[in-house]
């Protein structure tokens, strides 16, 4: 029709009192439609992808044709939706590959070992002497079938812990260890005292600990991923999303990704707002 769109409309006019029938007005509208050939071509490509279920190839073409890094990221994340092991591949897109991290840790440990090996002979002798001394000290405290050891029940902290252990009072023993800042002993005894005591001990430990990664460790141990998503600095949104991808249960995964996306969207920073799109893709929203 030469790019023209014709539409018809019948408008029923309100009837007046005493009128036997309603009047109708008939309208004909002629509009000029501009055809976007490029848009129609993209629409055809999408329709073909839907019909053939060829979403992976469609997304890959979009990735190859992307003009910006953000556009490339969006299509890369969308592509992962149609692939196996989506969480693992999302992590890779965020820059976290388990294999690479393992190699990096091994490389760092090798460098430490190499630097230790370059120490002077005197330092090596001193280190060897300390190592032998430590082994000797450790061997003195290892359980032995032939020797004896003292069970102290004095009034000091060790004696009180001993008395608690002898009566099976793990909770008191743990509290005494925590009071004396013996965190490792407290955790070991809490494990022996059962899951409930261990959970309470972990909470007390985290309340006392003030390291830079305490809150992250707390969330990992207590499985409180909402704390990470709600409280993290949004500059670390990648790390927060990586934690959710790694640990969140299937029934909470989408909601957590959505929550992080909402925080990014509402922040007011245009750069962060664009990253919210990636969180929504992970959520399937």
More reliable by pLDDT, 285 or 131: 285
On whether residue 178 sits in a domain, the answer given is yes
Give the model's pLDDT for residue 197.
93
- What size, in residues, is the chain? 285
- Pair (234, 276) in one structural domain: yes
On whether residue 136 sits in a domain, the answer given is no
Q: CB neighbours of 135 closer than 8 A, spacing ≥ 6?
A: none
What is the number of other CB atoms lying within 10 angstroms of the CB of residue 190? Answer: 25
pLDDT one-digit tens code per residue, 110-136: 565 555 555 555 555 554 555 555 555
On whether residue 87 sits in a domain, the answer given is no
On whether residue 190 sits in a domain, the answer given is yes
Q: Alpha-carbon distance 250 to 248, whole Å?
A: 7
What's the chain's average pLDDT?
A: 82
Give the model's pLDDT for residue 99.
72
**In which residue are the tokens 């999408």 written?**
46
Q: Which one of 147, 179, 208 terminates a domain?
A: 208
Q: Is 55 in contact with 83 (CB distance < 8 Å)?
A: no
More reliable by pLDDT, 45 or 142: 45
Q: In the chain, pLDDT over 70 holds for what percent of residues? A: 79
DSSP H or E stretch at residue 141: helix 121-141
Tokens of 110: 């090798």
- Pair (223, 198) in one structural domain: no
Long-range contacts at 79-86 (CB < 8 A, ≥ 24 apart): 79/55, 81/55, 81/281, 81/284, 82/55, 82/56, 83/56
pLDDT one-digit tens code per residue, 44-95: 888 988 888 889 999 999 999 999 999 999 999 999 989 988 999 999 999 8
**In which residue are the tokens 């999303």 written?**
241
pLDDT one-digit tens code per residue, 154-208: 778 888 988 888 888 999 999 999 999 899 999 999 999 999 999 999 888 888 8
Give the model's pLDDT for residue 137.
52
On whether residue 182 sits in a domain, the answer given is yes
Residue 140, pLDDT > 80, answer no
On whether residue 21 sits in a domain, the answer given is no
Calculate the CA dihedral of residues 47, 48, 49, 51 and round it to 10 degrees.
90
Q: How many domains does the chain have?
A: 2
On whether residue 2 sits in a domain, the answer given is no
Average pLDDT estimate for 94-104: 74
Q: Which one of 208, 239, 273 terminates a domain?
A: 208
Residue 252, pLDDT > 90, answer yes
Give the model's pLDDT for residue 198.
92
Give the model's pLDDT for residue 162.
87
**In which residue are the tokens 């992250």 written?**
216
């Amino acid at each position: 029709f030469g790019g023209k769109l014709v539409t018809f409309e019948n408008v029923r006019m309100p009837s007046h009192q005493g009128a036997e029938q309603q009047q109708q007005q008939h309208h004909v509208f002629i509009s000029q439609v501009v055809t976007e050939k490029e848009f129609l071509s993209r629409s055809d490509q999408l329709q073909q992808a839907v019909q053939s279920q060829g979403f992976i190839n469609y997304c890959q073409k979009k990735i190859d044709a992307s003009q910006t890094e953000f556009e490339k990221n969006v299509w890369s994340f969308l592509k992962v939706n149609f692939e196996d092991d989506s969480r693992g591949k999302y992590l890779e897109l965020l820059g976290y590959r388990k294999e690479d991290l393992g190699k990096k840790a091994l490389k760092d440990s090798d460098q430490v070992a190499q630097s230790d090996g370059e120490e002077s002979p005197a330092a090596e002798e001193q280190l060897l002497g300390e190592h032998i001394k430590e082994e000797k000290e450790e061997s003195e405290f290892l359980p032995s079938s032939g020797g004896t050891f003292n069970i102290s029940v004095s009034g000091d902290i060790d004696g009180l812990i001993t008395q608690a252990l002898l009566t099976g009072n793990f909770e008191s023993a743990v509290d005494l260890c925590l009071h004396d800042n013996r965190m490792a002993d407290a955790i070991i005894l809490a494990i022996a005292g059962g899951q409930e005591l261990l959970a309470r001990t972990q909470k007390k430990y985290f309340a006392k600990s003030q390291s830079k990664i305490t809150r992250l460790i707390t969330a990992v141990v207590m499985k409180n991923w909402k704390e990470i998503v709600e409280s993290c600095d949004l500059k670390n949104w990648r790390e927060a999303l990586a934690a959710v991808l790694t640990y969140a249960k299937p029934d909470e995964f989408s909601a957590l990704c959505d929550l992080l996306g909402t925080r990014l969207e509402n922040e007011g920073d245009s750069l962060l707002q664009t990253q919210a799109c990636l969180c929504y893709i992970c959520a399937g929203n």
